[in-house]
Amino acid sequence: MKNMNTSLDDIEFDEQHDKVVEELNENHVQPNSISPTVGMVFESVNQAKSFYRQHAISKGFGIRTRSSRKNNKNELCYFMMVCSRAGKYVESNQNEMIGRPTMTNDCAARMIVSKREENWYISTFDDVNTHDLSPTKSRLFRGNKKMNLNVKRTLDLNAEAGVRINKSFRSLVCATGGYENMEFVEQDVRNYVAKQRRALSKDGDAKALLNHFSSMRELNKDFFFDIDVDDNNCILNVFWTDARSRATYEYFGDVISFDTTYLTNKYDMPFAPFVGVNHHGQSILLGCGLLCSEDTYSFVGLFNS
């Protein structure tokens, strides 16, 4: 990046993150020193987007990429970043008193960046917002929230050690000096940890689970299991029941209780036992399931098993 300053806190956290951070530290870059201007030069797409994101955070609005274009070599040569409230939206409820604060209102704030040779140039910049700004909260807008590599490593290590998510989040809050310095909320942490836990590869716990169920079926052909996976081979739902439970169901399947109040510790997946009642009034286990989430799709898929 040339003739400009950028914020260390707003660098894209990808494979080049550590290299960029080191470069900024060496150059003693300070955030928010200048605003975007036409003709400003960047060395990469990430630096251009990071600079505009930092500008948006300081001003108090969210941003998103609205359009982009590639050249005949299928290489990105143009992109436009706009305010998150750009565009028009027709609200079915015309009562302005209960309108959504994040609703689009044709905001004109935007930055267009084009590539010439090996550098990226700001070709158009409009800094006129048609809505109220919130600099103190803009870091938590959807397009501005982020977790850096250090945060992700900390969450991964804590999850591996069995630390609860709320405690991991509180430790991050203490490390940053308070909630006002956080650039994400606890739900973002939960979403990240859940995504990591459920991305089970064939070489991980998914394979171990499949091997265990297969060995159980070899011991008894009446053992039944069903595993629901997505297009990326990640486990969504699991159901299993043994021969004894299946036989018991034939006699005491009139009333069945389905409970999802239990939560597994490692993968944050609801554990759902199917429980019946025998002729002595005792609870009996008829089957078990693990759910990716408590929604209609998961419940229907589990019951169809």
Q: Which amino acid is at 71?
A: N
**E runs forming strands in 26-75:** 41-42, 63-70
For the chain, the structural domain boundaries read: 8-144, 147-198, 205-304
| Contact indicator for 5, 46 with CB cutoff of 8 Å | no
How do residues 13-61 score in pLDDT, each as one tens digit? 333 434 433 443 333 334 445 788 898 999 888 888 888 888 888 888 8
Q: Which tokens go with 194?
A: 């859940």
Q: How far apart are CA 38 and CA 103, in angstroms?
A: 29
Could you tell me the sign of the dihedral formed by the alpha carbons of 114, 119, 124, 130, in that order?
A: positive
Q: 168, 189 in Cβ contact below 8 A? A: yes
pTM of the model: 0.45
Q: Which stretch, 5-14, 224-233, 271-280, 293-302, has highest mean pLDDT?
A: 271-280
Residue 186 has pLDDT above 70, yes or no: yes
Q: Which of 23-27, 133-137, 281-285 has the lowest mean pLDDT?
A: 23-27
Distance CA 285, CA 300 (A): 20
8 Å CB contact between 72 and 46: no
In this structure, what token pair is assigned to residue 242? 């043994």
Amino acid making up residue 219: L
State the Cα–Cα distance between residues 79 and 66, nearest whole angstrom: 8
Q: What percent of the chain is predicted at pLDDT more than 70? A: 70
Helix boundaries (H) for 119-185: 149-161, 165-176
Phi, psi of 263 (to 5 degrees): -135, 125
The SS3 of residue 230 is coil
For residue 63, count CB atoms less than 10 angstroms from its CB and return exposed for 0-12, middle for 13-18, buried for 19 or more: buried
The alpha carbon of residue 266 and the mean position of all alpha carbons in its chain are separated, in whole angstroms, by: 18
Query: Does residue 3 carry a pLDDT above 70?
Result: no
